[in-house]
Amino acid sequence: MVGVRRRWFQAPWEFRESALFTVAALCTGFVIEYVTSGGGIALPRLPVNAIALSLFAMLVLSVGLGFRNTPAVKWFGGIPLGLSLIFGIAVLSLIGGILPQEVVVPGSWPARFGLHKIFSGWPFALVVLLFLANLGLSLSWKLIPFKIQNLQFILFHAGFWIALSCGIFGSSDLQRFIVPVEKGKVNNVGYTMDSDTPHQLPFSVFLHEFSLEEYPPQLFLYDPHNDKLLMDKSRGTIEIYKGATASWMGVEVLVLDYMPSALPGQDGIPHPADRSKGVSYAKVRISSTGSLPREAWISTGSPFLKPAAAQLGNLYLIMAPGTPKAFRSAVTVQNDQGHAVMANLEVNKPVNFMDWKLYQMGYDEKAGRWSTLSLIEVIRDPWLPAVYLGFFMIMAGNVLFFWTGIKRKEVVS
Amino acid sequence: MIVDFNTAAMVAIACWVTASLSGVFARKIPVLKLFSFVLSLAGSVVMVGFIAWYWSFLERPPLRTLGETRLWYAALIPLVGFLVEYRWKIGWLKYYCIALAGFFLSINMLHPEVFDKTLMPALQSPWFVPHVVVYLVGYVLLAASSVTALHNVYLQLRSKERATGESVSHYLALLGFVLLSFGLIFGAMWAKEAWGHYWTWDPKETWAFLSWLAYLGYLHAYRYKIDRDKLQWYLALAFLVLLVCWFGVNYLPSAQNSVHTYTQS
């Protein structure tokens, strides 16, 4: 790297040639994208993608092992090209990380260059493919002949190769549908996020029960003229419980009583009631400067009952339902052969059925905890085990890397 | 509650300031050296104790808001400073770390926490703590690496000897990279359980990937024996990508659809 300045394309090739190559790949990608009007790239599905990936892997391995001393191949599997391609991927990720993805103005120049779906476009595909070739070549040289001191390199690089290639080649086989189910009903069709076309599923979902737990309700001062919630002095949300206090400019509020579930009696005063019907009530004492303290009942309301607020001049003291703490659906999933599973679906607790995974996704948010509709997402990703294998190899490689890093620290100190 | 935080923060800062002062005088009076070490450690112990108390008080890990993550940085960054001093006999880093920790605590004192116990269902996961803690420690190490690199750049400009400093910034970056990798993969596996897919190019994911690539690039450049002086610049600046990832993402146009934006406080 020192001494006489290298001429362009003078062997051995280094960073300049690698950078030029990467820029050329990026430009080619953007040109294809422009010519195809930002159509992106449509990957084949199983088994074609698996066959293509295996052929690609075999090609890279055989070129790497067969021509390991050829200067061009050495350069293709070397660090300068690897670094340039990493930089190329970083530039594309930067575009994808700054510009909103999947937000399109059709016909605009960013749309024609595919900038709104950078990760499924030609430039990304080309650069990643070249990067996989680069990574694969360097891997082939460390794999054969195998040496134990190369284990960390092999685990990390092979893991990354497997996770990246299977994640990208397998993305065309990812199926995800949203299945809306009403309580007491069964459904066997799903919808994708962006279309109304129903897809027949190989199983059906029956919803026994949907239930939702909430955090305690919160107290707010509402300004209807500006449609704004006013923050109190502590600038935090005020959770309602017996004895809770809040203060806004010139207004002090004390919660005298709190009933999580109640219904108003004939006299207008709430009495405790069953959770399925009742709503939250709180008795508050409001003291404002220049007037006598007064007491009032306020409530969150429900689809069946109007909320009760306390008026304070132009403002209203309101009680908002707490945010959801947990929601779950009791379902029975059944396929055509009669194989059935009963399960509780909850956020973060998906359930497996055949090669599908079922997720609690949402509910009718207007109805809140009275919702009788549950939105269940069903996902099938046949490539997942391969991607996870890659993840675990990267982690194993990293543990070794960490270990050698620590050990080398001793030498330094 | 706010009073409690202020007390804890004041005590911690007082410990660190006294420790730093006595550390400076320890050159002349060796007895102060141990005193300084114990005091600076005590500052971190106070913060760790406060976090433990706060955790049980909130009934959830205090890792949800930006303010809460600052608490962890305040407790952990000085520890990295002590570790570096212990390993490489480099004393100046801990003063920087202490100043940074004090800075984080001051931000929290000036902006009292939004005091909210709620935790949305998607965050209620066994992955929550490992994912965030691994990232926190990674960021702490990389922050220290970046500062060491900056110090080296400064020494380069004044053409002084800096061989030890270079290996410090390198090994901190190496360890930080390992933790970033774990954080990224833990995040992906959590996303699979919570949102159905391990990778959706959410802006936060994209930026986490970018920062990982930045350090991946560094390690390869180092390996290729690129001029180490230039790499100190690289390391010093690489932390900027992490800063965008940590809180800058919230302000980018792409963030409008993100599931990852922190609750502001």
Paired with A61 in beta bridges are: none
The answer to whether position A297 is within a domain reads yes
How close B132 gets to chain A, by Cα (Å)? 17
State the first-to-last Cα distance of chain B, in angstroms, to the nearest integer: 16
Q: Is residue A123 located within the same domain as residue A25?
A: yes
Q: Is residue A21 located within the same domain as residue A138?
A: yes
Give B-chain residues touching A398 at CB under 8 angstroms.
178, 181-182
**CA B173 → CA B149, B169, B217, distances in Å?**
10, 6, 12
The per-residue pLDDT for range B28-54, each reduced to its tens digit, is 777 788 888 888 889 989 999 998 888
Residue at which a domain ends, from A307, A322, A337: A322
Q: Is residue A80 located within the same domain as residue A185?
A: no
In whole angstroms, give the CA distance from residue B127 to residue A372: 30
Structure token pair of residue A176: 């995800």
| Mutation target vs A (from B65, B213, B256, B264; most A CBs, 10 A cutoff) | B213
In whole angstroms, give the CA distance from residue A101 to residue A119: 9
Mark yes or no for CB contact B87/A409 under 8 Å: yes
Mark yes or no for CB contact B210/A359 under 8 Å: no
The answer to whether position A153 is within a domain reads no
Residue A233: alpha-carbon gap to chain centroid: 35
Least CB–CB distance from A119: residue in B89, B201, B224 = B201
| Mutation target vs B (from A15, A91, A93, A164; most B CBs, 10 A cutoff) | A93
Least CB–CB distance from B223: residue in A1, A79, A235 = A79
Q: Is residue A193 located within the same domain as residue A56?
A: no
How close B141 gets to chain A, by Cα (Å)? 13
How close A77 gets to chain B, by Cα (Å)? 13
Give the A:B interface size as CB pairs under 8 Å: 141
Mark yes or no for CB contact A391/B189 under 8 Å: yes
Residues A1/B221, Cβ–Cβ less than 8 Å: no
Q: Kindly tell me if the per-residue pLDDT of B217 is higher than 90.
A: yes
Place of tokens 């062997």: A11
Q: Is residue A300 located within the same domain as residue A341?
A: no
Q: Is residue A268 located within the same domain as residue A305?
A: yes
Q: Is A68 on the interface with B (CB under 8 A)?
A: no
Least CB–CB distance from A79: residue in B125, B220, B257 = B220
The per-residue pLDDT for range B59-74, each reduced to its tens digit, is 788 877 767 878 888 8
Residues B182/A398, Cβ–Cβ less than 8 Å: yes
Residues A125/A164, Cβ–Cβ less than 8 Å: no
pLDDT at B134: 85
Cα angle for residues A291, A295, A296 (degrees, 5° grid): 120
Per-residue H/E/C for chain A: CCCCCCCCCCCCCCHHHHHHHHHHHHHHHHHHHHHCCCCCCCCCCCCHHHHHHHHHHHHHHHHHHHCCCCHHHHHHCCHHHHHHHHHHHHHHHHHHHHCCCCCCCCCCHHHHCCHHHHHHCHHHHHHHHHHHHHHHHHHHHHHCCCCHHHHHHHHHHHHHHHHHHHHHHHHHHCEEEEEEEEECCEEEEEECCCCCCCEEEEEEEEEEEEEEEECCCEEEEEECCCCEEECCCCCCCEECCCCCEEEECCEEEEEEEEEEEEEECCCCCEEECCCCCCEEEEEEEEEECCCCCEEEEEECCECCECCECEEECCEEEEEECCCEEEEEEEEEEEECCCCEEEEEEECCECEEECCEEEEEEEECCCCHHHCCEEEEEEEECCCHHHHHHHHHHHHHHHHHHHHHHHHHHHHHC
What is the extent of the structural domain holding A312? 216-322
Give B-chain residues touching A327 at CB under 8 angstroms.
121
Residue at which a domain ends, from A296, A322, A348: A322
Q: How many folded domains does chain A comprise? A: 3
From chain A residues 368-397, the ones with a CB under 8 A of any chain B CB are 377, 379, 381, 384, 387-388, 391, 394-395
Q: Is residue A345 located within the same domain as residue A203?
A: yes
- State the DSSP string of chain B: -HHHHHHHHHHHHHHHHHHHHHHHHTTT-THHHHHHHHHHHHHHHHHHHHHHHHHHHHTS-S-SBHHHHHHHHHHHHHHHHHHHHHHH---HHHHHHHHHHHHHHHHHHHSPPP------GGG-STTHHHHHHHHHHHHHHHHHHHHHHHHHHHHHHTT---HHHHHHHHHHHHHHHHHHHHHHHHHHHHHHHHHS-S----HHHHHHHHHHHHHHHHHHHHHTT--HHHHHHHHHHHHHHHHHHHTGGGGSGGGGG-S-PPBP-
The per-residue pLDDT for range B129-186, each reduced to its tens digit, is 778 878 888 888 898 899 889 888 888 888 766 566 677 889 889 989 999 999 999 9
pLDDT at A406: 62
Give B-chain residues touching A79 at CB under 8 angstroms.
220, 223-224
Give B-chain residues touching A241 at CB under 8 angstroms.
none
pLDDT at B265: 37
Paired with A373 in beta bridges are: A182
Instruction: Determine if residue A136 is left, alpha or beta; phi over 0 gives left, psi from -120 to 50 gives alpha, anything else beta.
Output: alpha
Mark yes or no for CB contact A348/B125 under 8 Å: yes
| Mutation target vs A (from B6, B200, B216; most A CBs, 10 A cutoff) | B216
pLDDT at B26: 75
Amino acid at B58: L
The answer to whether position A7 is within a domain reads no
Residue of A nearest to B182 (CA): A395
Residues A378/A201, Cβ–Cβ less than 8 Å: yes
| pLDDT mean across residues, chain B | 82
Least CB–CB distance from A323: residue in B118, B192, B254 = B118
Q: Is residue A49 located within the same domain as residue A138?
A: yes
Q: Is residue A244 located within the same domain as residue A361?
A: no
Give B-chain residues touching A379 at CB under 8 angstroms.
196-197
Q: Where are the domains of chain B?
A: 1-119, 126-265
| pLDDT mean across residues, chain A | 89
Q: Is residue A197 located within the same domain as residue A223?
A: no
The per-residue pLDDT for range B184-202, each reduced to its tens digit, is 999 999 999 998 999 999 8
Q: Is residue A246 located within the same domain as residue A315?
A: yes
Pick the CATH number of B126-265 from 1.20.120, 1.10.10, 1.10.220, 1.20.1250: 1.20.120
Residues A116/B256, Cβ–Cβ less than 8 Å: no
Q: Count of CB atoms within 10 A of residue A8's CB?
A: 8
pLDDT at A313: 83
Q: Is residue A103 located within the same domain as residue A179?
A: no
What's the sign of the alpha-carbon dihedral B73, A97, B146, B84? positive
Mark yes or no for CB contact B210/A324 under 8 Å: no
Backbone angles phi, psi at A367, to 5 degrees: -85, -15
Structure token pair of residue A160: 């990354």
- pLDDT, mean of each 10-residue run, chain A (413 residues): 67 87 95 86 91 97 94 94 96 92 77 87 95 97 92 96 96 94 96 89 96 90 86 70 84 90 86 86 88 89 86 88 90 93 93 94 90 95 97 95 68 44
State the first-to-last Cα distance of chain A, in angstroms, to the nearest integer: 30
Residues B77/B124, Cβ–Cβ less than 8 Å: no
The answer to whether position A24 is within a domain reads yes
Amino acid at A249: M
